């Protein structure tokens, strides 16, 4: 008897109750797929996915990816890991375990099921880069024993596992290196610059800039990034990555602060504090591979994305 929905897949999303995981689940559910959301709620929140709870094609499993998981699925998106400095530095040993053991357990599952698996890697693998913008062939400039290393090196070791499972066991892998991303459902206390500035501006507090504000970042809106995830996952088997996904538009921290103040209408001032250890001075993706191999590039400009993000944070108050 033929299946009713030939194109429907059963898809596992680890870290599915997090900021990016929940946006990905929205898209997958919207495409008609069945989704299993796996999260231990260390940084994710049930609020991000509660609008799907009545949907028979959606399921939540509370589980820590540091331990094996036995499910039957057609695809795996591995997004599980604390991703902001305050969260991943809160328990650094757990952070690196989540990156490495989580990758190993999900790769083992993909190997058993013979299914495609996506890894949410990060621009942090480039460390404090000595080339600008960053291309995928660049090996990075990372401090292996610094306070950020639990995340940087955790993600680098996860990439190693993915490519070794691909070469040794033929696992069908897709690896994306995610650059700074923002949008609704960001954790208000995740310590990232966009959420910091917005929450401070809405509360009438001074906006905190670390250093002189000349350091730069590139900000990609969540909807654009998820589109990149889906295109990479649907690409030809030969396209394994790693592929940079991010917005090449570059802004200084001072420029971002001024935009947030303008869009919130806040009268907050800007204050400066010392730059944290190993904080990158520049971060900008070269997205040539994404443009050529995926036909992808971001569409939402910073001002438009900030308006939606600010509206979300206003509703949290």
Q: Which two tokens stand for residue 13?
A: 């999303």
Is 182 in the active site? no
Buried b (16+ CB within 10 A) or exposed e, 166-188: beeeebbbbbbbbbbbbbbbbbe
Q: At what angle do helices 222-233 and 19-30 cross, to 10 degrees?
A: 60
- In a 3-state reduction of DSSP, which class is residue 78? strand
DSSP-assigned letter for residue 213: S
Helix, strand, coil shares, percent, the chain, to 5: 40, 20, 40
- In a 3-state reduction of DSSP, which class is residue 52? helix
Q: Which of 77, 126, 151, 182 is catalytic?
A: 151
- Pseudo-torsion of CA 252, 196, 127, 215, nearest 10°? 20
Instruction: Name the helix (H) or strand (E) containing 308.
Output: helix 302-316
Q: Distances from the Cα of 66 to the Cαs of 97, 137, 308, in angstroms?
A: 7, 29, 34
Catalytic positions, please?
Answer: 151
């Amino acid at each position: 008897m033929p299946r009713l929905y030939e194109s429907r897949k059963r898809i596992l999303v680890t870290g599915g109750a997090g900021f990016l995981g929940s946006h990905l689940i929205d898209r997958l559910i919207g495409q008609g797929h069945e989704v299993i959301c796996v999260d231990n709620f260390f940084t994710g929140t049930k609020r991000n996915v509660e609008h799907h709870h009545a949907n028979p094609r959606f399921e939540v499993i509370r589980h820590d990816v540091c331990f094996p998981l036995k499910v039957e699925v057609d695809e795996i998106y591995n997004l599980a890991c604390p991703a902001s400095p305050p969260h991943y530095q809160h328990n650094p040993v757990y952070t690196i375990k989540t990156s490495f053991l989580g990758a190993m357990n999900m790769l083992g599952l993909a190997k058993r099921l013979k299914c495609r698996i996506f890894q949410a890697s990060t621009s942090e693998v480039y460390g404090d880069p000595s080339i600008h913008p960053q291309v995928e062939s660049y090996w990075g400039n990372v401090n292996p024993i610094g306070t950020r290393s639990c995340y940087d090196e955790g993600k680098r070791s996860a990439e190693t596992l993915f490519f070794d499972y691909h070469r040794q066991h033929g696992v069908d892998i897709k690896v994306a290196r995610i650059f700074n991303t923002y949008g609704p459902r960001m954790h208000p206390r995740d310590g990232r610059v966009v959420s910091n500035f917005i929450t401070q501006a809405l509360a009438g507090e001074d906006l905190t800039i670390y250093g002189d504000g000349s350091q730069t970042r590139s900000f990609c809106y969540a909807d654009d990034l998820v589109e990149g995830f889906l295109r990479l996952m649907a690409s030809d088997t030969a396209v394994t990555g790693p592929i940079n996904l991010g917005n090449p538009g570059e802004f200084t921290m001072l420029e971002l602060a001024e935009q947030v103040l303008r869009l919130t209408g806040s009268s907050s001032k800007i204050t400066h504090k010392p730059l944290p250890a190993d904080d990158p001075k520049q971060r900008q993706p070269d997205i040539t591979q994404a443009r050529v191999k995926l036909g992808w590039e971001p569409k939402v400009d910073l001002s438009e994305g900030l308006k939606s993000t600010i509206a979300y944070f206003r509703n949290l108050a």
